[in-house]
Amino acid sequence: MDPRLGRMASSSLAFLLLLEGGMFSPSSPPDGLQERVFQYIDLHQNEFVQTLRDWVAVESDSVQPLPHLRRELLRMMAQAADKLRHLGATVASVDLGSQQLPDGQTLPIPPIVLADLGNDPKKPTVCFYGHLDVQPARPEDGWLTDPYELTEVDGKLYGRGATDNKGPVLAWINAVSTFRALEEDLPVNTKLILEGMEEAGSIALEELVQKEKDRFFAGVDYIVISDNLWLSRRKPALTYGTRGNSYFTVEVKCRDQDFHSGTFGGILNEPMADLVALLGSLVDSSGHILIPGIYDHVAPLTEEERNMYKAIDLDLEEYRNSSQVKKFLFDTKEEILMHLWRYPSLSIHGIEGASNEPGAKTAIPGRVVGKFSIRLVPHMDMSVVDKQVKQHLEYIFSKRNSSNQMAVSMVLGLHPWITNVKDNQYLAAKRAIKTVFGTEPDMIRDGSTIPIAKIFQDVIQKSVLMMPLGAVDDGEHSQNEKINRWNYIEGSKLFAAFFIEMAKLP
């Protein structure tokens, strides 16, 4: 090897990055701030893991409406508020009153924590959203370790909430606290909004965001969410879109009671036969939705987009094996990802009143309700979709000449979200990822719906960045949820590097 190469590699790295990336800024500021920050995070990683252990130890389950769990949730929010106050933040815990359950029980809604660090008008203000409530977890569900005692095995930190979403929230706080500990000026103003009801439908969040629009959010320039996962185990990702969802019910009714099939079979239009025909008219065996006009407003595929899909790191074989599916509808990585992210899909979820319990029951259901939903993508319009679905089902039903009654309703509607990957903060995030991980991120979307991104985009009208930290196999909501120590620690560095890159933006 040419000995000059070795020397060049270390002394001219910043210069090379500059060449390679065109407008790329040098990977580290001249004063070595970034190196000191990274070093501090490496040296103090056990403390950061310990804080995560303290947070995971709180059973902040928002899903089960039980008074003792609600108390834990309140304790979690108070603990986070304390932590932020110790960092010098101005913290408000917004009381959201209480929640009345169908059984008459009243439970307090955990406060939303609003924290504010710095208001230097020369710096950009970046607001981080996260949630501290978790899905239920019981040891008897098949956890190999106590879900509320963070346990490290082979570099994996197992515990409920480790990746969804306590780990990423703490990574942001770790990044802030590192600048504080080094007595360095934070490169950005940062705010945090932390809620405790995300897993229970973010009760009261949108209302609060509306109310705080001209107060807490007044000076906010950018919003960052870190509440999803990479597509890979090792390669970082940035998320720039999520699908929406419109959920339908279609009821077919003859009468409220069931019939005996021996006494009525043969002389009736059976509601179930009508419903099966209706549901069977929605989608064909290649996954194509058969509702006329449904694809009319789907954004056309651009060449640039096609290239983005090509660059994504996805091991199809492993994906197939881990999902235990013999064959998907599509054979290439690109087609599979596009049909998960940028095309709509229709799923049939179930039938109410279908006597689905085991046994050879001979009733004819008198009334059945079919349930299906359509995952929406840009630029589909929910009210147009609603009309198209109703028209289509009415047409199919009318062709049957059935004497039953049919009623279709859209019971839930969530808009898709997409952002511009050329937004400033996406560029800054890419640079930070390059610095910490030495690679370009996968540019990904999420096939499911994450309503908060759209809420922030609509209400605050600022750029929303989704920057996940967890690996694809973290098992959110599942038994043995974990975050890798590597993801948690490098993720803390990533947020710190992101602050530095954000400060460099014009």
- Report d(CA 388, CA 229) in Å as an integer: 34
Q: What is the DSSP string of 170-218?
A: HHHHHHHHHHHHTT---SSEEEEEEES-GGGT-TTHHHHHHHHTTTTTT
**CA of residue 273 relative to chain centroid, distance:** 38
Sites of contact with Mn ion (CB under 5 A): 164-165, 227
Given the complex with Mn ion, which of 165 and 484 has the nearer CB atom? 165
> Nearer to Mn ion by C-beta: 195 or 490?
195
Amino acid 265 reads G
Name the token pair of 289. 């939705």
Q: How many whole angstroms from its chain centre is CA 206?
A: 16
Q: CB of residue 197 vs Mn ion: minimum separation in angstroms?
A: 11
Q: In whole angstroms, how close is the CB of 202 to Mn ion at the nearest point?
A: 10
Choose among 176, 152, 150, 181: nearest CA to 43: 181
Q: How far apart are CA 73 and CA 132, in angstroms?
A: 8
Q: Which of 195, 198, 474, 481 is catalytic?
A: 198
Query: Positive or negative CA dihedral for 447, 449, 452, 457?
Result: positive
Instruction: For tokens 């090897």, name the residue.
Output: 1
Q: How far is the CB of 330 from Mn ion (least distance, A)?
A: 28
C-alpha to C-alpha distance for 222 and 457, rounded to whole angstroms = 10
Whether residue 217 contacts residue 192, with contact meaning beta carbons closer than 8 Å, is answered with no
The count of residues in the chain is 506
Q: Residue 196 or residue 344: which is nearer to Mn ion going by CB?
A: 196
27 vs 165, beta carbon nearer Mn ion: 165
Q: Which is nearer to Mn ion, 198 or 221 (CB)?
A: 198
In this structure, the number of other CB atoms found within 10 A of the CB of residue 419 comes to: 19
Nearer CB in complex with Mn ion: 165/189: 165
CA neighbor of 405 nearest in space, from 282, 247, 281, 250: 250
DSSP class of residue 165?
Answer: I
Residue holding tokens 């998320």? 239
78: which 2 tokens?
């108070």
Please state, in angstroms and rounded to a whole number, the distance separating the CA atoms of residues 313 and 441: 9
Supply the minimum distance, in Å, between the C-beta of residue 472 and Mn ion. 15
Least Å from the CB of residue 371 to Mn ion:
22
Please indicate whether residue 198 is annotated as part of the active site. yes
CB nearer Mn ion, residue 200 or residue 283: 200
CB closer to Mn ion, 368 vs 471: 471
Please, are residues 111 and 96 in contact by the beta-carbon 8 Å criterion?
A: yes
Catalytic residue among 59, 61, 116, 133: 133
Shortest gap between Cβ of 228 and Mn ion (angstroms)? 7
Residue in this structure with the two tokens 């710190």, named with its chain if needed: 496
Estimate to the nearest angstrom the gap between the alpha carbon of 32 and the chain centroid.
34
Q: How far is the CB of 161 from Mn ion (least distance, A)?
A: 9
Nearer Cβ to Mn ion (151/165) = 165
Q: For the CB of residue 456, give the shortest distance to Mn ion in the complex, in Å.
A: 15
Burial class (CB in 10 A: 0-12, 13-18, 19+), 29: middle
Smallest distance from Mn ion to CB 192, Å: 15
Cα–Cα distance, 414 to 424 (Å, whole number): 27
CB-CB contact of 89 with 194 (8 Å)? no
Q: Is 185 a catalytic residue?
A: no
> Which amino acids are annotated catalytic?
133, 198
